[in-house]
Amino acid sequence: MQRHDLRVDIDRLTARLDELGAVGSTGDGGCARLALTDDDRAGRDLVVTWMTDLGMDVSVDEIGNVVAVRAGSEDGPPVMCGSHIDTVATGGIYDGNLGVLGGLEVVETLESAGVVTKRPLAVAFFTDEEGSRFAPDMLGSLVYSGALSIEEALDVVATDGARLGDELGRIGYQGPTPCPGIAPYAYIELHIEQGPVLETHGETIGAVTGVQGISWQELTIQGQSNHAGTTPMSYRHDAGFVAASIAVRARELARRMGADQVATVGRLQLSPNLVNVVASKATFTVDLRNTVEKLLQYAEAELSRQVDEVCRSEGVSCSSRRLARFEPVEFDSRIVDLVERTASRLGHSTRRLPSGAGHDAQMLARMCPSGMVFVPSVGGISHNPKEFTSAEHLEAGANVLLGAMLELAESDVLHFDGECEAVAH
Ligand code: GLV
Ligand code: MN
Ligand code: MN
């Protein structure tokens, strides 16, 4: 059989997705494997077993990223794919997992056909992509790329008070391989879209052009608790009111700025959190994203101005803590073209689109030519147990990953114009 006629086994891929999805199952179709918890360890152990069963050479680095390599006929930097297997607390079974298990499916397809590629292939899963327990998101790939030091990363404190380094050691995933890691020849990540664009347009494959910028901060409002019945409205220093007002203003700001600006208050805690007490303290997060750096900076400045305004008028103080800040990233046009070309060759409709979610690929883009393949998410729903992608679309995405990896592994597709293999951005 010709290499370009090879196809993945969709039943094997969906069986693995279901088996991994059962680890940390929330019983409603979803799963919760927050980074570096016992369930994350169980998910990691399962995937490492699959990697080992495929004869891959598995290594674990200092931040717990796992990289499995299948040797090529020549040495050199591998063509890498991957993603993450941690989830948010209300996660589905596809986010991240598809990129990793899709990669294993590519390897198993080649293994079954007895095909050895010229360049080595690697399948990776990166620690704490979600960032909901330990901020920032994409932490493992950030450290892999060298943009965050291992010392700083190990000292990150979780929302539940645990230190990242302690949790990594506790679950047995602080490995010996140093960070930053080896720059791959290229990196390509298969992922569900997690938004409605492909489904709305009836298209099967997204050739992802880049990832929008991400700004996360945690705000703490300090007011004064008081009796809910006796305190006249004009006497109040109500932290709960201020938090609610900022959430409303963030949403209005995004609406005013237009479709590419999004704003979310996703976590909010009030203290003392009682029905008849004015809240003295509110701690909440604001997530702002835009594909254009200047517009994201405008949104940040405008929100900050509004926070000052509402705090002053209510007589409360505010402090803020930066949780994550990543500029928008553009993927390598040669990888975007390759994804589009491979999808078309396989008979799939395609669309170029930016990613609304953060991904490990945006960190790998600092080290090597990188890109992503998207498949549709039913109803555009993700970070929700109802997250779903049809087997037909999973299969299409995995076959595009297979075709693109084969081309990267065999040809000198990244060598035209005399450019070097690993482009530092
Ligand atoms: C991470 O996956 C994010 O986009 O929040
Ligand atoms: Mn993801
Ligand atoms: Mn996610």
Short-list 235, 260, 204, 160, CA closest to 389: 204
Gap from CA of 138 to ligand 1 centroid (Å): 8
> How long is the chain?
425
141 phi-psi bin (left φ>0, alpha ψ -120 to 50, beta other): alpha
Short-list 365, 362, 380, CA closest to 325: 362
Ligand 1 pocket check for 130: Cβ under 6 Å: yes
Domains held by the chain: number? 2
Q: Select from 326, 358, 373 the last residue of a domain.
A: 326
The secondary structure element, H or E, covering residue 300 is: helix 293-314
All residues with CB under 5 Å from ion ligand 3: 95
pLDDT-derived band at 1, boundaries 50, 70, 90: confident
Same domain, 228 and 187: no
pLDDT-derived band at 144, boundaries 50, 70, 90: very high
Strands 186-192 and 79-83: parallel
Same domain, 19 and 131: yes
Ligand 1 binding pocket mutation candidate from 130, 286, 290, 326 (most atoms within 8 A of CB): 130
Q: Determine the pLDDT at residue 212.
A: 97
pLDDT-derived band at 38, boundaries 50, 70, 90: very high
Q: Select from 326, 347, 373 the last residue of a domain.
A: 326
Tell me the per-residue pLDDT of 162-195, one tens digit each, with 9 for 90 and over. 999 999 999 999 999 999 999 999 999 999 999 9
Q: Give me the domain span that covers residue 14.
A: 3-212+328-410
d(CA 227, CA 112) in angstroms, rounded, equals 71
Query: Do residues 66 and 83 make contact, with C-beta atoms less than 8 angstroms apart?
Result: no
Q: Determine the pLDDT at residue 415.
A: 57
Ligand 1 binding pocket mutation candidate from 34, 137, 193, 217 (most atoms within 8 A of CB): 137
Same domain, 368 and 403: yes
Closest ligand 1 atom to 287 CA = 5
Ligand 1 binding pocket mutation candidate from 88, 214, 382 (most atoms within 8 A of CB): 214
Q: Select from 326, 361, 385 the last residue of a domain.
A: 326
Strands 262-264 and 281-290: antiparallel
Residue 422 lies in a domain: no
Residue 424 lies in a domain: no
d(CA 326, CA 340) in angstroms, rounded, equals 26
Same domain, 23 and 118: yes
Report the sign of the C-alpha dihedral through residues 170, 85, 289, 239, in that order.
negative
Tell me the per-residue pLDDT of 278-295, one tens digit each, with 9 for 90 and over. 999 999 999 999 999 999
Ligand 1 pocket check for 369: Cβ under 6 Å: no
Task: Measure the N-to-C terminal CA separation of the chain; round to a whole number of Å.
Answer: 38
Q: Determine the pLDDT at residue 411.
A: 81
Q: Determine the pLDDT at residue 259.
A: 78
- For residue 10, count other CB atoms closer than 10 A to its CB: 16
Same domain, 137 and 254: no
Kindly identify the ligand whose nearest atom is closest to the C-alpha of 136. 1
d(CA 378, CA 93) in angstroms, rounded, equals 13
d(CA 93, CA 43) in angstroms, rounded, equals 12
Same domain, 80 and 177: yes
Same domain, 129 and 12: yes
- C-alpha distances in angstroms, 162 versus 170, 289, 387? 11, 28, 29
Kindly identify the ligand whose nearest atom is closest to the C-alpha of 190. 2
pLDDT of residue 263 exceeding 80, the answer is: yes
Q: Determine the pLDDT at residue 421.
A: 43
Average pLDDT over residues 367-394: 98
pLDDT of residue 45 exceeding 70, the answer is: yes
Short-list 411, 415, 369, 398, CA closest to 117: 411
Same domain, 346 and 295: no
Tell me the per-residue pLDDT of 322-354, one tens digit each, with 9 for 90 and over. 999 999 999 999 999 999 999 999 999 999 999
Report the sign of the C-alpha dihedral through residues 170, 172, 178, 180, in that order.
negative
Same domain, 339 and 298: no
Same domain, 121 and 228: no
d(CA 211, CA 332) in angstroms, rounded, equals 12
Gap from CA of 166 to ligand 2 centroid (Å): 24
CA angle 397, 392, 330 (to 5 degrees): 25
Closest ligand 1 atom to 359 CA = 2
Q: Which residue has the higher pLDDT, 419 or 200?
A: 200
Same domain, 295 and 196: no
Residue 418 lies in a domain: no
* pTM score: 0.94
Ligand 1 pocket check for 39: Cβ under 6 Å: no
Same domain, 287 and 365: no
